[in-house]
Amino acid sequence: MKKVLPLFIAVVLIFLVSGVSAQQRGPGGGTSATIEGIVVDSLSTDGVEFAAVALWDLSKAIDGTLTNEKGAFKFEGVKAGTYKILISYIGYSPQSVENIIVEEGETQVNLGNVLILSDNIQLQEVTVKGQAALIEDKIDRLVYNADKDITNRGGTAEEVLRKVPMLSVDLDGEVELRGSSNVRVLIDNKPSTIFASSVGEALKQIPSDQIKSVEVITSPSAKYDGEGTAGIININLKKNTLAGVTGMVSTGVGVQGSNLNGNLNLKDKKWAISLSGGGRMSYNYKTLGLNTRTSVINGEATYLTQESDNRSIWGGGRYRGSFVYDFDKKTNFTISYSGRARIRGGKGDQITTLLDDTQSLIFQNTRYIDQSNFGNSNDLDFSFNKRYANPVQELSILAQYSKSNRNTAFIAQENNIAADSSDNRGIDQEFNIKLDYVQPLGEKVKWEMGGRAVLRGATSDGKFYDFVPENNAYALNSLRSNYLDYDQNVAAGYSSFTIELPKKWGIQAGVRYERTMITAQFTELADIEIPDYDNFLPSINLSKRFEKGGSIRASYTQRIQRPSIRFLNPYVDYSNENSISFGQPTLAPELVDMFEISTSQYFGRNSINFSIYSRIEDNSITSVSEVIRENGIDITQTTFANIGVNKRYGADFSYNINPNKDWRIGGGVSPSYTYMDNRTISNKGWNVGVNLNTQYTLKKGWAVAGFGFYRSPRVQLQGTRNGFYFHGLTVKKDVNDKRGSFGLTLENPFVKAIEFKSSLENYTDENNYFITNNSSQIFRRSIRFNFQYRFGKMENDGRGLFNRRRGNNDNDAVDEDNGGQDMM
């Protein structure tokens, strides 16, 4: 901390002195006037809420505001002179109203309706009383609108991400973006220790019902943290934006899982309080596995066969409270606290047979394993946001403290006799403080700058015990036990410029500096000296928008991936004595250069998105296995290492088709080619991912939807990893003016089990090599009943909870997009 804070404070001071002095109201004197108007969508003729409106004199911005729920805006206290209005909003082309003249003595200038034009034809969807777009391609990211997909009822974030183009999620919940698991996952643009040890475990704790959208950012700008060589996934959660007392309760009951979630929201004109909680339990998960290995060491072969039969359960709960206060239309702060807990367990037999090169039996045993995994995490967040007279100008401050506890353990029996056990307890902590500032430089240039300090700490206390029959008790095995205390501190600063060029061209360029400081301490081993390192991470994005919608973009960015605690932890997992695994605390970070060219085209309500990319990783972190022979028994030993290079070249194609206003079809195809080389071992090959979503809206509130996903086997340095597929069907019925809904979901209805196959091999010469083949069947066919209901009386007039407008404008209906929901 002593090294990080001075650097961060210096960055903050530099940014603060660049602040802009208060702006004057206008050039003239005398009486003041009001300028008002309504921002209207040119296609739907609806008012556009939350559009940014800036008032300019001849040289500078002098005031700014956001439109209300009807699209109206108003500037008061405007002196005589000549002005213009600039209007901007995501998804619309910027609009300006020139030569607004306020005469001396004039008290009001009413501009009436000011039309703004959608910058992609896809937004014509607003005029259709049917379905909104499931997939949107914005200038720097792809957006999957999860709340528009009815198959996301009663599930988890793991199931939602499986439907997002470019992403693949295996049945353990581990996420890959374009074939790489080095992904930075954020919740509402904020990090959390919930993802520190296992992204898969974290995703199971987020209910799918409370996810509004998922953003996939493949070429992050300098504003974003440098971590995540594949890119960034940002999960946006639903929030309540309407005044009143609202809430939601949802539940799902199925043969393999059940869930219960609820929230309560109170919102007035200036403040909002949200409370939420819930839990999920998954059960009846059955997995059958078969593992075969042929290993040859110094010309002598052994043949291993291992069969497994496992039953597992998973459960988790969470709670959250938040308070938001708006000082005015431009200034607010939020404080929130959230906690999560989870438990995972599995029981089953491992039947192992080992033969020598004459096919004679070396040994055979049945090992019964009872595994458990407990954990909890807590996040405390404080954020402050301020906009200035020019609404583009903005200051944001975030402070966050996160802590996560984890405990993994197993107890083993061999041939019905107690054998050994293990217990690994760990704590992950992270403190973040971040400042971001946006300064417009005229009408065409935006300057973004900021700094961040991150203080991370992780401990791992792993103990291994042997059962001693004479004492009828377990004894500590110090040779198989270890302890790690790992601290990683990062200081960062960035600067980025966005420039609007003629003919709808635009460029964004920036650089991010990050300094990393690491210390690692052990009890069993000597402390390891890990040198500090510095990284300058450039990024550039060149784009052009077309007149009739769509865009083309070319980008380059450099990213860094620091090894996670999963890769660093030296704790050895001995649950399978014939195949052990552990981490390496001396791993170095990997660097990646990413190039991408993408285009989006819109045809009425339909869209296609296409991109080609290359990702070249240096010092790539990957798993490496070898077979060692101890006392005549061969053991597969897997750890992690920095290999020489990992190159991936690929393409992404996604589409969103609406044959009519009731039917939507979406999906994508992502082929790629991988080459990996560590100078002694190399591997290469093709991979492909395919997904499909479709939804049809029927009469009287009924709807039906389906989805499917396939991922081919992934190329690894020493073989291939599991490919798999998944599919599901959902039927839903809305009731009581969409306040409630019930439905039925089928997962994998057409297959009894999902089959996984993978291979692992290493060839040194004809006298030293090994070949391993794994296959497993995971039984995931299930049926689930879902129910959801939203309650409360909400006001749309913006006057607040305690100052309601009486009369015909009261609105009792609940907007399905908002739903009165807030995470979590």
Map 227-278 to HEC letters: ECCCEEEEEEECCCCCEEEEEEEEEEEECCEEEEEEEEEEECCCEEEEEEEE
Question: Percentage of the chain surpassing pLDDT 70?
Answer: 86
820 pLDDT tier (thresholds 50, 70, 90): very low
Reading the block at residue 407, the tokens are 């405990």
Rounded to whole angstroms, the Cα distance separating 785 from 743 reads 6
Residue 818, pLDDT above cutoff 50: no
Reading the block at residue 76, the tokens are 């008061």
Rounded to whole angstroms, the Cα distance separating 179 from 199 reads 15
Rounded to whole angstroms, the Cα distance separating 513 from 503 reads 33
Rounded to whole angstroms, the Cα distance separating 422 from 405 reads 17
List, for residues 142-181, the tens digit of each pLDDT value: 888 888 777 776 677 887 887 787 887 776 667 888 877 7
Residue 395: the pLDDT is 94
Per-residue pLDDT, averaged over 216-241, amounts to: 83
User: 525 or 493: which carries more pLDDT confidence?
Assistant: 493
Question: Percentage of the chain surpassing pLDDT 90?
Answer: 32
- CB count in 10 Å sphere of residue 802: 8
List, for residues 415-468, the tens digit of each pLDDT value: 889 999 999 999 999 999 999 999 999 888 999 999 999 999 999 999 999 999
Residue 808, pLDDT above cutoff 50: no
631 pLDDT tier (thresholds 50, 70, 90): confident
Per-residue pLDDT, averaged over 685-708, amounts to: 89
Q: What is the CA radius of gyration of the chain?
A: 29
Residue 548: the pLDDT is 66
28 pLDDT tier (thresholds 50, 70, 90): very low
Residue 369: the pLDDT is 94
Distances (CA, A) of 59 to 12, 64, 77, 83, 388: 29, 15, 18, 10, 16
Residue 107, pLDDT above cutoff 50: yes
Rounded to whole angstroms, the Cα distance separating 758 from 753 reads 16
Residue 240: the pLDDT is 63
Per-residue pLDDT, averaged over 572-580, amounts to: 89
